[in-house]
Amino acid sequence: MIWLELFLTFLKIGAFTFGGGYAMLPLIQSEVERHGWLTQAEVVDFIAVSESTPGPLAINMATFIGIRTGGIFGAVCATFGVVLPSFVVILIVAKFYEKFRKSRVVDGVMFGLRPAVIGLIGAAFLSVGMTVFFPNGLKSAVFSNAGLWTSLGIFTAGAVLAFRKVHPIVIIAVSAVMGIAAGYAMEL
Amino acid sequence: MNKVIDLFVTFLKIGAFTFGGGYAMIPLIQREVCENKKWLNDDDILEIVAIAESTPGPVAINAATFVGSRTAGTVGAVCATLGVVLPSFLIISVISYVLRAFQESRAVQYAFMGIRAGVLALILKAVYTMFRSAKKHGVSYFIMAAALVLTALLKTDAVFVIIGCGTFGLVWSLIFGKKGEG
């Protein structure tokens, strides 16, 4: 049953993600939360793992969540689900290519979807931000500020590096080192 | 038959050596598929990018399926897609066990505390880059804001946001035509 659930959930994620990558985050976050498969913090952790390993985020996510919840066959079901919509649609489009490129309907839908995807990633930024800065909810955060300042510091450093076009893997490595240093420093 | 195996191996290589996936994969596909194998030309690659953007699913899968189908039909599409998925699948399977073994370690927990903040910076960069390249147009800003508010504040299911914005874009451009797209 979990296998069918994994397949259907990732089929939905595959069918409604345009542009791939971070665009699928809001969908993954809401589906994973609804099913109780991972915590929001685990989703964020896994984005980092996915950025530091080869392959597309969508496949990495599907495989990871699949294996966590349904073992290796769960991973197969989730990955198959996320791949299938793309695969079928592209097979059809490849046959009717000219019509597809000139279609006013496709043009019109994309006119709405392109900015929508930016809004969706913006929403993912906000919800990941809540997880990062206020892991225990807003109230507790006001006074437990060592962790908050650490996160703010690492985020600022990461943003500076990212806007200087430093490779994501380097940014993740630097953040990990800063996190370890700050963690042990807080114990002193 | 050889071509089909060749497709599988080529996309296995592409899948194993692209970090970040999606658009990071396009230059690699171009080198392998156009320059080395001469299956497609550079114009085809531009078409693939345009199609991948306007069809659902990960860009990497869209590109692999398209190249496979153009080069060797449906069987080719299956092999290319399988090839591009396989490295990810195997690597993540191994990593998920390794992570589970180390997740109790204090150093790993601290590392992830730092990494989460780093990932947030990466997402900010992604939004900024997309925002910069978006159409500078009132309707486009309106849709962005609507999608953001609906998802972040009103907790609307992303599926409905996608369907809603796609329908809105279609209706708008059918009524106002190219004018509306500025």
What confidence tens digit (pLDDT) does each residue in A90-128 have?
999 888 877 887 888 888 888 888 889 899 989 989 988
Residue B180: the pLDDT is 46
Whether A71 has its CB under 8 Å from any CB of chain B: the answer is: no
Report the gap between the CA of A80 and the closest CA in chain B (Å): 10
Check whether residue A126 and residue A159 sit in a common domain. no
Q: Write the DSSP string, chain A.
A: -HHHHHHHHHHHHHHS-BS-GGGGHHHHHHHHHHHT-S-HHHHHHHHHHHHTSBS-HHHHHHHHHHHHHHHHHHHHHHHHHHHHHHHHHHHHHHHTHHHHHH-HHHHHHHHHHHHHHHHHHHHHHHHHHHHHH-TT-HHHHTT-HHHHHHHHHHHHHHHHHHHTT--HHHHHHHHHHHHHHHHHHHH-
Q: Which residues lie across from B56 on neighbouring strands?
A: A18
Return the closest-CA partner of residue B144 out of B120, B172, B165, B121: B165
pLDDT of residue B182: 45
CA dist list (Å): B164 to A86, A112, B137, B146: 20, 9, 19, 10
Query: Is the minimum CB–CB distance between A87 and chain B shorter than 8 Å?
Result: yes
Burial letters for A130-163: b for 16+ Cβ neighbours within 10 Å, e otherwise?
ebbbbbeeeeebeeeeebbebbeebbebbbebbe
- What whole-number distance in Å separates Cα of residue A174 and Cα of residue A161? 10
Whether residue A45 sits in one domain with residue A127: yes
Put simply, the chain A residues between 34 and 63 with a CB less than 8 A from any chain B CB are 41, 44-45, 47-60, 63
- List the one residue out of A164, A169, A166, A152 whose CA is nearest residue A54: A169
Global pTM value: 0.86
Same-domain status, A73 and A95: yes
The whole-number average pLDDT for the span A164-187 is 89
Mark whether A144 and A65 lie in a shared domain. Answer: no
Q: Is any Cβ of chain A less than 8 angstroms from the Cβ of B175?
A: no
What range defines the domain where residue A41 resides? 2-133
For the cut 60, the answer to whether the pLDDT of residue A143 exceeds it is no
Chosen domain end from A100, A118, A133: A133
- B156 reaches A (C-beta below 8 A): no
- B169 vs A56, A108, A163: nearest CB: A108
Phi, psi of B154 (to 5 degrees): -90, 0
Judgement on whether residues A9 and A76 belong to the same structural domain of the protein = yes
What residues of chain A lie within 8 A of the CB of B131, using their CB?
118
What pLDDT does A55 receive?
83
% of chain A beyond a pLDDT of 70: 95
Same domain, A28 and A113: yes
Reference A156, options B121, B112, B110, B116; nearest CA is B121
Neighboring chain B residues of A19 at a CB cutoff of 8 Å: 22, 53, 59
Instruction: Note whether A104 contacts B: Cβ–Cβ < 8 A.
Output: yes
Interface membership of B129 toward A (CB under 8 Å)? no
Considering the domain architecture, whether residues A33 and A68 belong to the same structural domain is answered as yes
Q: In chain A, what residues touch B19 (CB-CB under 8 Å)?
A: 51-54, 168-169
- Closest A-chain CA to B67: A94
Query: Could you tell me if A74 and A36 lie in one domain?
Result: yes
Residues in A closer than 8 angstroms to B181, CB to CB, are 111
Backbone φ, ψ for residue B105 (5° rounding) = -65, 135
Residue in B closest to A29 by C-alpha: B158
Confidence grade of residue A140 (pLDDT, cut at 50, 70, 90):
low
pLDDT band at residue A187 under the 50/70/90 scheme: confident
Compute the average pLDDT of residues A130-147: 71
Q: Is B166 an interface residue toward A (CB < 8 Å)?
A: yes
**Mind listing the pLDDT tens digit for each residue in A19-60?**
767 888 888 888 888 899 988 888 888 888 888 888 888 899
Rounded CA gap, B66 and B61, in Å?
Answer: 8
Which of B167, B51, B49, B131 shows the shortest CA–CA distance to A108? Answer: B167
Q: Are A170 and A128 found together in one domain?
A: no
Residues A126 and A39 reside in one and the same domain:
yes
3-state DSSP assignment of residue B105: coil
A18 and A111 in a single domain? The answer is yes
Q: How many domains does chain A have?
A: 2
Q: Give the residue extent of every domain in chain B.
A: 2-102, 106-181
Is B49's Cβ below 8 Å from some Cβ in A? no
Quick one: which of A29, A150, A142, A65 has its CA closest to B115?
A150
Q: By the CB < 8 Å criterion, does B46 face chain A?
A: no
Residue in chain A closest to B47 (alpha carbons) equals: A101
- In chain B (182 residues long), the average pLDDT of successive 10-residue segments reads 89 85 79 88 83 85 91 94 94 89 85 90 89 86 93 88 92 76 46
**Same domain flag for A166 and A122:** no
